[in-house]
Amino acid sequence: MKIISVIVPIFNAGPYLGKCIESLINQPYTDLQIILVNDGSTDDSLSIAEQYAQQDSRIEVYSQSNQGQSAARNVGLQHARGHWISFVDADDYIDPDYYSYLTQEIGQLDCVQIGYRRVTAQGKILIKKLPKHFHQFTSPCMRLYRRELFEKHHLSFPSGMIYEDVIFSIDFWGCNPSYKMLPYTGYNYLANTHSTTAIRNLVAKEVLFATLREKRQQAKHWKHKLLITYTIIRLKFHFKRYD
């Protein structure tokens, strides 16, 4: 089996972290490098991560002052040595067949894209959602990536942003990756109202749209420009709907 580097950014995820880690270490696909990056948590998250690391040699724990999810993911990328890269948020968890299924499907592709379930803390499924097209979801978590893509195109996450996933995905799509969409919803996304993605922040949105407009200006190919325009329009409708 080829190694999958699983990157988990952690900030004050104590109530959920154990379930997340358990879903990783109990995978039948065992060739994992599990990278837990504590981003200055003030709860017991670091202690929980270290306890699991003592029990499982595949787990590596890194800790830094609070710099945001982007910086934590970038630390994970610096330490990743797997053939593939996966991102899982600390308050989410994955199905038991997650990596067995994804690795069977990726072949020589750069990426596979799946859907997700939105769940409560009690495990109740609120929605199941599959992407209608490859560019619909901006979260990096519902994908398995070939690590060579990150190295070739120097991909990383922009620091200091709440909606950094969007900018990362724009850069990722701009690499014209080979991909496959899968009819699978094995990623369980917790409906956590205290997460950074649940925080409505006007300044953060202004920064996001300004960055997207700058990316559109810099884009060299008309297809990439069109994709960024589509993303801007879609996000404006999204924010208008939920604000």
pLDDT for the residue numbered 242: 55
Same domain, 11 and 66: yes
pLDDT for the residue numbered 77: 98
Distance from C-alpha of 138 to C-alpha of 155, rounded to nearest angstrom:
15
Distance from C-alpha of 117 to C-alpha of 187, rounded to nearest angstrom:
6
Same domain, 211 and 99: no
Q: What's the domain count of the chain?
A: 2
Residue 61's DSSP bridge partners are 36
Same domain, 169 and 73: yes
Same domain, 170 and 227: no
What's the pTM?
Answer: 0.91
**Full domain range(s) for residue 151:** 4-199
Same domain, 118 and 235: no
Same domain, 134 and 222: no
pLDDT for the residue numbered 121: 87
Instruction: For the chain of 243 residues, list the mean pLDDT of each consecutive stretch of 10.
Output: 95 96 98 98 98 98 95 97 98 97 96 96 91 90 96 93 90 94 96 54 84 90 88 84 59
Same domain, 164 and 76: yes
- Please report the DSSP string for 188-239 in residue order: EEE--TTSGGG---HHHHHHHHHHHHHHHHH--SHHHHHHHHHHHHHHHHHH
Cα 241 to chain center, whole Å? Answer: 23
Distance from C-alpha of 183 to C-alpha of 158, rounded to nearest angstrom:
30
Same domain, 223 and 183: no
Same domain, 242 and 172: no
